[in-house]
Amino acid sequence: MSVTTSDQAVEDGPPPDDTEPRRTGRLTQGEGLRGMLLVAPTLIALAAVIGYPVVRAIVMSLQQDEGLDPATGQFVEGGFAGLTNYADWILQRCGNVECPPGTLGALFWPSVFNTFGLTVVTVAIEVTLGLWFASIMHRKFKGRGMVRASVLIPWAIPTAVTSQLWYFIFSVDGIFNKLLGTQILWTDDKWAVRFAVVLADVWKTTPFMALLILAGLQIISDEVYEAAKVDGASAWQRFIHITLPLVKPALLVAILFRTLDVLRIFDLPYILTKGGGGEENAVTTLSMLVVAQIRDGFNSAAALSTITFVIIFLVAFIFVKFLGAHVVQTQQTQRKGAR
């Protein structure tokens, strides 16, 4: 039984011109310049809006927060701090002692743990559900358009509204407990609140995944599936060998960005727990910690943001490297594989 590969499936017509002189990595004047011009607007927009504040934040993170001058009762500028802000966070140090419970410093590693846990769980569920939703929406049936629209509703409602909605639903005398007949503290108990946050987030973002996967599915023509069916491939085999490889590019981008998003999540856990993070700070995320720290001193918050950035960067790095996520196939790769 032969199963068609992704590359063969795409190229079915006359083979692309193979004999065109292959440009190696050398820059030719025309392409290099044109390339830079086309890429420049993106880089400028990012540098101005994101690059500048990031640089600013990093510079500030090397400064000490203002301290109170006991004589005047006024705050005065702290001096240069070097990496002390960073060390204080990572070592959970407050002054000369380990940060006692009730300080923000004591929440660093719990927040890291929560953030990672939340990310892994929500992304895993969203990918699975997203794949399933997309495969269903891909089929032909009456009212397909309406179903697609209704799937997108969770995602289309502003997060500010859905967070309030879920807070309302999950409140101890709210509709969720009423329907279940329980009195569970969904916005408070350690695992209940984690469940609540995961449920609310998955509800909202699965459509995003489903949409991207669906777009990827649209590219695969039916004939490929038919051919595979004729060859005797089961539904699972068709899924593994045709569907997955072909939606892989869109799917990987979706997973990557979704992961980056959840690692930075703020409003949902914040609103669901009124900022408290639930029992034992069960859902306090790094971004929530940053916001709380900003009130105490921006420089230290900037250090925490930079640490968060580094953590996320490492995650993305591992993602790209080890999952073999060639998130971008360049033209050459495509041409190469198309034989």
Partner 1 sequence: MKSMPRLSAMAMAGALVVTVNACGAGGDDNDEQQGVDARGPITYVQGKDNSNVVRPLVARWNKEHPDEKVTFKEQSDEADQQHDDLVQHFQAEDAGYDVVSVDVVWTAEFAARGWLQPLEGDFAIDTSQMLAPTVEAGTYNDKLYTAPVSSDGGLLYYRKDLVPNPPRTWDEMMGMCDIARKNKMDCYAGQFAQYEGLTVNVAEAINTAGGEIVEENGTTPAVDSPESVEGLGRLVEAFENGNIPGKAITYTEEEGRQSFQAGNLLFLRNWPYVYALAQSEGGSKVKGKFGVAPLPGEDGPGASSLGGHNAAVSVYSDHKATARDFVEYLTSEQSQRWFLEQGSLAPVIESLYSEEPLVKQFPYLPTLKTSIENAVPRPVTPYYPAVTEAVQSNAYTALKGSKPADQAVSDMSDALKAATQQ
Partner 2 sequence: MATAEANARSVRSTGFDGKKLRTYLGVAFIVIWGLLPFYWMVVVAFREVGYTFETTPWPTHVTLDNFRTAFDESLGNQFGQALVNSLIISTVTTVAALVIGVFCAYALVRLDFRGKFAILGLVLAASMFPPVALVTPLFQLFTDIGWIGSYQALIIPNISFALPLTVYLLTAFFAEMPWGLEEAARIDGCTKGQAFRIVILPLAAPGLFTTAIIAFIAAWNEFLLAAQLSDKSTQPVTVAIAFFTGAQPQQVPYTAIMAAGTIVTIPLVILVLIFQRRIVTGLTAGGVKG
Q: Taking CB within 5 to 8 Å according to partner kind, which of partner 2, partner 1, none is near residue 182?
A: none
# chain residues binding partner 2, by CB under 8 A? 118
Using rule CB under 8 A, residue 151 touches partner 2: yes
Q: Taking CB within 5 to 8 Å according to partner kind, which of partner 1, partner 2, none is near residue 339?
A: none
Indicate the residue among 261 and 279 with the shorter CB distance to partner 1.
Answer: 279
Element holding 94 (H helix, E strand): strand 93-94
Q: Taking CB within 5 to 8 Å according to partner kind, which of partner 1, partner 2, none is near residue 302?
A: partner 2
Q: Name which position in 3, 11, 66, 237 contacts partner 1 (CB under 8 A).
A: 66
Q: Name which position in 25, 70, 73, 95 contacts partner 2 (CB under 8 A).
A: 25
Using rule CB under 8 A, residue 250 touches partner 2: yes
Tell whether the torsion through CA atoms of 10, 16, 19 and 23 is positive or negative: negative
Residue 206 CB, nearest distance to partner 2 (Å)?
8
**Using CB under 8 A, which residues numbered 236 to 275 contact partner 1?**
273-275
Using rule CB under 8 A, residue 67 touches partner 1: yes
Using rule CB under 8 A, residue 110 touches partner 1: no
The DSSP letter of residue 171 is: S
Check if the beta carbon of residue 204 is closer than 8 Å to that of residue 163.
no
Using rule CB under 8 A, residue 75 touches partner 1: yes
Taking CA atoms, 117 is separated from 75, 101, 126, 195, 269, in Å, by 39, 22, 14, 12, 13
Using rule CB under 8 A, residue 327 touches partner 1: no
Residues 6+ apart with CB under 8 A from 54: 309
Q: Name which position in 12, 223, 226, 280 contacts partner 1 (CB under 8 A).
A: 280
d(CA 140, CA 83): 59
Amino acid at 148: R
- Give the per-residue contact string, 187-226, with partner 1 (x = CB under 8 A; - = no): xx--------------------------------------
Using rule CB under 8 A, residue 1 touches partner 2: no
Using rule CB under 8 A, residue 318 touches partner 2: no
Tell whether the torsion through CA atoms of 124, 129, 130 and 132 is positive or negative: positive
At what angle are helices 244-263 and 298-322 packed, to 10 degrees? 160
- Give the per-residue contact string, 63-102, with partner 2 (x = CB under 8 A; - = no): ----------------------------------------
Indicate the residue among 32 and 67 with the shorter CB distance to partner 2.
Answer: 32
Element holding 128 (H helix, E strand): helix 108-138
Residues 6+ apart with CB under 8 A from 174: 168
Q: Name which position in 8, 34, 103, 240 contacts partner 2 (CB under 8 A).
A: 34
d(CA 45, CA 49): 6
Q: Is 16 left (phi over 0), alpha (psi -120 to 50) or beta?
A: beta
In 3D, which of 168, 192, 201 has the Cα closest to residue 274? Answer: 168
Q: Name which position in 21, 158, 181, 324 contacts partner 2 (CB under 8 A).
A: 158
